[in-house]
Structure 1
Amino acid sequence: MNIIPRNFDSIFDDFFPSLRSTTESNFGQLIPRVDVEEQETQYLIKADLPGINKEDINVELQNGLLTIRAEHTEEKEDKKDGKVIRRERHSGSYARSFSVGKGVTEDDVSGRFENGVLTLTIPKKDNEEPTTKRINIA
């Protein structure tokens, strides 16, 4: 099993980081920064989700595709005695997907959220090698 990012643009992030914003995709959706660590029996995915509440995080597994989604909304304050000069804190939805293989089930994946970092643990599953069976022809 390989953990493969499903965001095509992220392939280029490591080589051409200056071409894109560090947190926003071309479609206005925020892309959480992640570390993927391979250990002997499992993979760890650590995703930065700053300013997100645990209740606003959704992790789904469907057909071997693990997707992290989160929603973040900034409270807009009406300031009567001033105006915003610069706004760099984003509001929006985060999403990132990984191919984890069809052998992984929801019960296999565990997660915790602490200090703005979501950590998911995904066990390594043995990939079944396709077998070839000879068919006798009478």
Structure 2
Amino acid sequence: NVDEKKDLHYVKRERFLGTCARSFFVGEEIAEEDIKAEYDKGTLKVFVPKEGTNVKAKKYIAIE
């Protein structure tokens, strides 16, 4: 909540200050190391890869 009172020479703003916690399920196949997060100008962005994007490299066996 932002409460602004404008007068001739000042602006008064009041904001709530406290902690916030949030948790959510991202999937069975997602590793913690693959999740990235950044906090910029009051915005938290969390990047979680889609399930199934960690495709393992194919291995080829030579046939003689």
TM-score when scaled to structure 1?
0.26
Is structure 2 residue 28 aligned with structure 1 residue 102? Answer: yes
Of structures 1 and 2, the one scoring higher in RCO (CA 8 A, sep 6+) is: 1
Using the alignment, how far apart are the partners of 1:116 and 1:109 within structure 2? Answer: 20
Give SS of 1:98's match.
Answer: coil
Is structure 2 residue 26 aligned with structure 1 residue 90? Answer: no
Using the alignment, how far apart are the partners of 1:94 and 1:100 within structure 2? Answer: 19
Provide Cα deviations, 1:87-138, integer angstroms capped at 9, x if missing partner: 8421221011221112111111011111111111100113xxxxxxxxxxxx
Give SS of 1:113's match.
Answer: strand
The equivalent of 1:116 in structure 2 is 42
The equivalent of 1:60 in structure 2 is none
Give SS of 1:118's match.
Answer: strand
Q: Percent identity?
A: 39
Paired amino acid for 1:90: F
Where does the alignment leave 5 or more consecutive residues of structure 2 unmatched? Answer: 2-12, 53-64
How many positions carry a matched residue from both structures?
A: 41
Where does the alignment leave 5 or more consecutive residues of structure 1 unmatched? Answer: 1-21, 23-86, 127-138
- Relative to total residues, which structure has the larger helix share, 1 or 2? 1
- Relative to total residues, which structure has the larger strand share, 1 or 2? 1
Using the alignment, how far apart are the partners of 1:123 and 1:101 within structure 2? Answer: 10
Matches within 5 A, 1:120-135: 120-126=46-52
Paired amino acid for 1:123: P
Structure 1 runs (4+) deviating above 6 angstroms are none
